[in-house]
A and B are shown apart, each in its own frame.
Chain A
Amino acid sequence: MKNKIYFDYASTTPIAKEVKEDIGAALEDDLLGNASSLDHEFGVDASQAIELARQDIAELINAETAEIIWTSGATESNNLALYGVCNFKPQGHPLSIASSYAEHKSVIEPLMELKRKGHRVEFIEPNKDGYLDPASIAKILDRGLDLFSCMHVNNEIGSVNDIALIGSMCREKNIIFHVDAAQSIGKLPVDVEQNNIDLMSLSAHKIYGPKGIGALFINQRTVGRLQPLMSGGGQERAMRPGTLATHQIIGMAAAYRLAKANMENDLIHLTKCRDLFLQLTGDIEGLMINGDTHNTFPGIMSISLPDLHAESLLFAMDKVAISKGSACSSESDEPSHVLKSMGLGREEIEGTVRVSFGRNTRFKDIEVLTQSLKKAVDHLRLLKGGI
């Protein structure tokens, strides 16, 4: 066990005890069968377990079980949603797609590739608080789009997009609405029916489930089918071929059941964590909170100390594990595209770290975190000749 307190829940979460138990049970011989081998009871048992798990996922978002397709995670789900819609159309029919600059790279990069292939792709900027203004969305939807994609909760700053409003705007204009819910699923209520969502990417490891498994919700009435990314099997209604990972799927379902049961209490706990963090860091000179603290998911805090360098700030905080931002960009020296799109300057971006809380965060851990942060700030300011 590492001798650090974990504050990187937006990157991934520890697997819950109940989830580990269910995965362990699924790895026993009773479920050894291939869920596609329905000629004997081993395969049938695995298939039944997977269908029960599918039901748990569907129930959390108010979908039909047939609308859930298993994938390897939200990145694959995002890719399948975007390429799947575009490639399903006959060649020579470019689609018109819009999204935002604040999206995860697993949305932005496929869209850039689709643009290179001839589709019309536009990106809108988030406002200074990191979420999409309805006016900007309305403007771009008026241009006659086929598909609009945005995230529910931003992975770097925790800003929350009003997906109910965006969903109704898209449905009114018959535009396919894709939501990347990797950071929000199981943490905030999402109802695909009420929110007029057509496609939604889901993850397991962000809510105490296993890594390597996720799902894509595909609205049967409005989308129906997608062109698969891979070929070579008929699994998942031929949209995602490959032998299903029974134990991972069962683990994801266990995590979703737990999330459903704990969502309200988790949210209250995270709000208290966020409030305590804000209270204890209020006296740190120059500390900026990125985003609007009232319209964000409380589990993610993005803070900037523009006079300091984030990488050395993290290094100086040797008792806690926090990150510079998105896990997908942490090895890169490139400034965060999300913060850039919100209008932050280079110094503000270079001095930004992300703190994320979770179900296991204790209030005394936050005291250690803030003490560690203050000590690190003092050290780095001393190195650069005082404030």
Chain B
Amino acid sequence: MNSSIEILKEAFFDTDHVLIATDETDQYTAGFSDNAQNMWVKFYLITSNSKIIDAKYEVKGCQYLVALTSLFTNSIINQDIFCLADFDYQSLVSLIDLPKNRQDRLFLLEDAVKDCINHFERG
């Protein structure tokens, strides 16, 4: 069992699902959110009949936001996009031992996901 700091580091340095220049963004459904501290998250999902077959992200922010985004993205592949609305974000909190004064990072992530779902629903 990895400690929360190891999980945080691993997720922070994991770039498997980071959007790269050669990715065709046209085929993704995108979502975005930002905050007053100049942190932001962009989500890109490819779905087939509402099933998420690929997910990518771009992120700027503290290590917690980066790790939350990375962990979240890794966990949603093959899920139904409509299940994201009920995603248990608190499970990520305990996984990386998110400090109380950094809980707002979770809202940032949640808002980007909601924005993505909205875009998907609008087609």
Contacts and interface: CB of A to CB of B under 8 A. Distances in A.
B19 A385 contact: yes
B60 A309 contact: yes
Given A350-B37, A350-B38, A312 B19 contact: no
Interface string A363-387: 0000000000000000110111110
A312 B58 contact: no
Given A346-B38, A382-B15, A383-B15, A312 B61 contact: yes
B101 interface: yes
A134 B21 CA distance: 51
Contacts of A275: none
Interface residues of A, number: 20
B63 interface: yes
A312 B38 CA distance: 13
A45 interface: no
A2 to B, nearest CB: 14
A316 B58 contact: no
Contact of A383 (B21, B37, B38, B58): B58
Given A333-B37, A350-B38, A383 B66 contact: yes
Nearest to B69: A383
Interface of B is mostly: mixed
Contacts of A386: 21
B76 to A, nearest CB: 18
Interface residues of B, number: 21
SS of A interface (majority): helix
Interface string B9-32: 100110100111100000000000
A53 to B, nearest CB: 41
A312 B63 contact: yes
Nearest to B62: A311
Contacts of B38: 309, 346-347, 350
> 8 tightest A-B contacts by CB?
A315-B63, A311-B62, A385-B58, A384-B60, A312-B63, A350-B38, A312-B62, A383-B59
Given A312-B65, A346-B37, A383-B58, 18 more contacts: A308-B60, A309-B39, A309-B60, A309-B61, A311-B63, A312-B61, A312-B62, A315-B62, A316-B12, A331-B101, A379-B15, A382-B18, A383-B66, A384-B58, A384-B59, A385-B19, A385-B21, A385-B58
